[in-house]
Amino acid sequence: MLILGLDPSLSCTGWGVVRSEGSRLTHIANGQIKSDAKAPIADRLAGLQREVAAVIAEYAPDRAAAEEIYLNKNPQSTLKLAQARGVVLAACGAAGLSVNEYAARLVKKAVVGTGAAEKTQVQAMLKVLLPSAKVAGPDAADALAVAIADAHLAPRA
């Protein structure tokens, strides 16, 4: 089973693909989709949609998993995050992928063992769980963590 993990953001969306066979996980690929903060938001969202669709086309995952939205202190930031997340989910839907959604605390608990884990702890566990992975950056690491959480938490098909 190939799982596409997604960490949506307008500035930098992380993605990661893992293969789950029973309790065995294998790193396939990961990356980050960045957008130009000076470009119009419609262009940024369209670019994000194209890039996510390209990742789906290249790796043909069986399903996807995404981090749930969190409320930011800044309403504008929350709105931009929601728009980016909507585009990412729409790209998955257009490709016929089901998407499981997880709260950040649940992802941390599934990967590290505690929902209060720091990003550094999550990244350290990624090195243990996916030792061959060369992680493209922090957003890609978060996306791989979402994929791992899905491998552990999603009902078996």
Judged against a pLDDT cut of 60, whether residue 42 lies above it is answered with yes
Angle (nearest 5°) at CA 143 between 141 and 146: 115
CB burial class (10 A; 0-12, 13-18, 19+) of residue 138?
Answer: middle
Query: Annotated catalytic sites, by residue?
Result: 7, 67, 139
Domain 2-153 has CATH 1.10.3720.10: no
Q: How far is CA 131 from CA 11, 86, 143, 150, in A?
A: 28, 32, 16, 19
Task: Please write the tens of the pLDDT for every residue from 57-77.
Answer: 999 999 999 998 876 778 888
Domain ranges within the chain, ordered by starting residue: 2-153
Task: Please write the tens of the pLDDT for every residue from 139-154.
Answer: 999 999 999 999 999 9
The answer on whether 139 is annotated among ligand-binding residues is: yes
Average pLDDT value for residue range 7-26: 95
What is the predicted pLDDT for the residue at 157?
55
23 neighbors 151 (Cβ within 8 angstroms): no
The answer on whether 101 is annotated among ligand-binding residues is: no
Judged against a pLDDT cut of 60, whether residue 120 lies above it is answered with yes
Q: What is the pTM of this model?
A: 0.95
Strands ordered across the beta sheet of 24-34: 24-34, 12-21, 2-7, 63-67, 99-102
d(CA 69, CA 24): 28
